[in-house]
Amino acid sequence: KNQVEQSPQSLIILEGKNCTLQCNYTVSPFSNLRWYKQDTGRGPVSLTIMTFSENTKSNGRYTATLDADTKQSSLHITASQLSDSASYICVVIPLSGGSQGNLIFGKGTKLSVKP
Amino acid sequence: EPEVTQTPSHQVTQMGQEVILRCVPISNHLYFYWYRQILGQKVEFLVSFYNNEISEKSEIFDDQFSVERPDGSNFTLKIRSTKLEDSAMYFCASSELGRSYNEQFFGPGTRLTVL
């Protein structure tokens, strides 16, 4: 069964510190892997999109890595800010004829950045 | 910057009633999607829509659900006879094309509460 598991479930860090969020998936074959940021009560916003052949992708202070052999991805946040407090969701898109109808979502890591 | 909008932001209804959730996708996008997120759970795919027909749907999207593009701008999700377990956040998303690497843009969501 296609699954995406994330750890930790929640994380509290101090402003200015770095953190790394983990994602393990069993989706195979897959087309691409995405990290989304979801503020409370809002829709997810895309941070990074990586195809299976990419190892790393950056977007400002966010850097995502992908190891397709071990089926693991991570999202590293540098110099955290209070506005980084949100849920971070790992999403895997199965390779299904090139379409992207069925995104497989992880449950997310709830990050709290404290002053 | 163009964005996906959804109305209403919160809908309260009695069990057994019909509800229609509305979405206005980004204007030049051709593919539309509905997702739901039960409180504390992961986001789940419901249905994708292209060229006035459903292109993919999940097991959740049973006969109680229907989607429609009634005009050139709106995309609706109808639940015919709501159940308590339909209480969730419903997110609409759109993408320019339907390829697996195309980014989906999510709306802010409609919180549906079934009493």
A45 touching B (Cβ < 8 Å): yes
Min Cα separation A44/chain B (Å): 6
Q: Which of A84, A73, A74 is nearest to A20 (CA)?
A: A74
Given this model, what pLDDT does residue A101 score?
A: 60
Considering only CB atoms, B48 lies closest to which of A101, A107, A108, namely: A101
Interface check for B32 against chain A (CB to CB < 8 A): the answer is: no
Contact B59, B36 (CB under 8 A): no
Residue-wise pLDDT tens for chain A (115 aa)? 778 999 999 999 999 999 999 999 998 888 889 999 999 888 899 999 998 889 999 999 999 999 989 999 999 999 999 999 999 999 998 876 545 567 889 999 999 999 9
DSSP letter string, B1-69 = ----EEE-SEEEE-TT--EEEEEE--TT--EEEEEEE-TTS--EEEEEEETTEEEEE-TT--TTEEEE-
The Cα of B26 is separated from the nearest Cα of chain A by a number of Å equal to 14
Decide if A99 and B100 are in contact by the 8 Å CB cutoff.
yes
Q: Is A103's Cβ below 8 Å from some Cβ in B?
A: yes
What pLDDT score does B87 carry?
A: 97
Q: What residues in A contact B42, CB-CB < 8 Å?
A: 89, 105-108
What pLDDT score was predicted for residue B20?
97
**pLDDT for the residue numbered A52:** 83
pLDDT tens, per residue, chain B with 115 residues: 789 999 999 999 999 999 999 999 999 899 999 999 999 899 999 999 998 999 889 889 999 999 999 887 899 999 999 999 999 999 999 998 777 677 889 999 999 999 9
Q: Which residues of A touch B108 (CB under 8 A)?
A: 41-43
Place of tokens 């790393």: A56
Size of interface A-B (CB pairs under 8 A): 72
**Interface mutation vs chain A, best among B101, B112, B113, most A CBs within 10 Å:** B101
pLDDT for the residue numbered A93:
86
The alpha-carbon gap from A63 to the nearest alpha carbon of chain B, in Å, equals 18
- The alpha carbon dihedral of A45, A24, A21, A51 has a sign of negative
Q: Which residues of B touch A32 (CB under 8 A)?
A: 100-101
CB contact under 8 A, A41 and B48: no
Angstroms from B20 CA to nearest CA on chain A: 19
